[in-house]
Structure 1
Amino acid sequence: MLPTIAPYELPSAHEVPQTRVNWDFDPSRSALLIHDMQQYFVDAYGENSRLITQVTSNIRDLREAAPQANIPVFFTAQPPEQDPKDRGLLWDFWGPGMQDDGSNKVIHDLSPREGDQVLTKWRYDAFSRSDFEEQLASLGRDQLIITGVYAHIGCLTTATSAFMWGGLDFRSS
């Protein structure tokens, strides 16, 4: 079981630091990744969490806009009841992880739809042990919108991998 996460406020737009680069968003080059929105991870925020309500609403807005802009949608989903060899050092930190009790499902409000791709997530990084890189390349997508919970771990390591992978180009064209 994950430790409970204390509630906190999301930063407002004026609290986000100014970017050092001028990157243009292009829907025809973009993909949306909804990361770690499985019930198991969301439960760590406690019942009736205002934060999770706000985060889910924001993600739902992105989720609804993506198909209208022809942006493919990807999800990460960690498998339940992993073999200790597959969990590796995660076992030492977090124990056996999620079980096959329904908590491994993406939360109902964001359930994957027909055409969405669900990546099996073995590590914090969505690129690790998956064909995510190849799927993005085959779709001609080199910009990635990353959203979800645990931004300080999974979203950050995925963003770092995307930044370091030569196939994703966040610069203006």
Structure 2
Amino acid sequence: MALPAIAPYPMPATDELPANRVEWTVDPSRAVLLVHDLQNHFLSAYDPSAAPIPELLSHVAELKKKAARLGIPVLYTAQPGGQSPQERGLQQDFWGPGLPAEPHAAAIAAAVAPDEGDTVLTKWKYSAFVRTDLLERLREQGRDQIVITGVYAHIGVLMTACDAWMQDIQAFVVADAVADFSAEDHAMALRWAAGRCAVVTGARAVFEGDRSAPSSGYGADARTGAA
């Protein structure tokens, strides 16, 4: 039930991204940037010197800088350490006790640590919307777009994107600013998001208005099927 040891794998290239069903673009006046669960505990499953981690942290750091320049609020999720079984709920059954009650494990990675003015939400479940005030914050600020980065792509990132869709919040999953248990899990998360609830884009393009992606590679089937 502990986190797996995650073998290195390459970040998806631009020409491997799935075809998106929709053509949303990020509007800085409507968007927030979410840094999802980039805590030392979750990153400890990876080799920090091997792909995809250097790219992940570099791209998230660059997106934070761009967001600051564009006036886009930056929010983080972080799970608390030392949760009781009651606080863990069913996550206890799937993943065990979770983060230890140790400050370094719970801390957000130094390379992408919050800056003054950023918001850190205490997170309890897969989705960043569950048992948090994320939706209320978005409504209060008049924002209806969320750009999602972090780990793990096929779990919390994907569930957050899907929950955003259910609240009529446009979600953007940054393909090379998320990471997962494997290349296969990463690819599956991108395909599902692009076909069902979000726009999948790259870190270089997300704030530039370029949503183009070929209908090949990871996403050949993204436009097929029905809800």
Give your verdict on TM over 0.5.
Answer: yes
- The offset of 1:169, in angstroms, is 4.4
How far apart, in 2, do the equivalents of 1:141 and 1:15 lie? 30
- The offset of 1:129, in angstroms, is 0.1
- 2:30·2:145 contact (CA, 8 Å) conserved in 1? yes
Runs of 4+ in 1 over 6 A off after TM superposition: none
How do 1:34-49 and structure 2 match up within 5 A? 34-49=35-50
State the SS of the aligned residue for 1:141.
coil
Match of 2:214 in 1: none
How far apart, in 2, do the equivalents of 1:136 and 1:28 lie? 12
- The offset of 1:136, in angstroms, is 0.8
- The offset of 1:49, in angstroms, is 2.6
Match of 1:75 in 2: 76
Match of 2:114 in 1: 112
Q: 1:58 to 1:47 in 2, by over 3 A?
A: closer
How far apart, in 1, do the equivalents of 2:38 and 2:66 lie? 18
Does 2:166 align with 1:130?
A: no
Identity of aligned residues (%): 47
How far apart, in 2, do the equivalents of 1:20 and 1:95 lie? 37
Q: 1:169 to 1:17 in 2, by over 3 A?
A: closer
- The offset of 1:48, in angstroms, is 2.2
Does 2:148 align with 1:146?
A: yes
Q: 1:142 to 1:6 in 2, by over 3 A?
A: same
How far apart, in 1, do the equivalents of 2:42 and 2:17 lie? 25
State the SS of the aligned residue for 2:120.
strand
Map Cα deviations across residues 65-113 of structure 1 (whole Å, 9 max, x no partner): 1110000000000000001001011111111111122110000111111
How far apart, in 2, do the equivalents of 1:65 and 1:24 lie? 15
Match of 1:156 in 2: 158
Q: 1:82 to 1:19 in 2, by over 3 A?
A: same
State the SS of the aligned residue for 1:159.
helix
Q: 1:110 to 1:47 in 2, by over 3 A?
A: closer
Number of aligned residue pairs: 170
How far apart, in 1, do the equivalents of 2:41 and 2:106 lie? 6
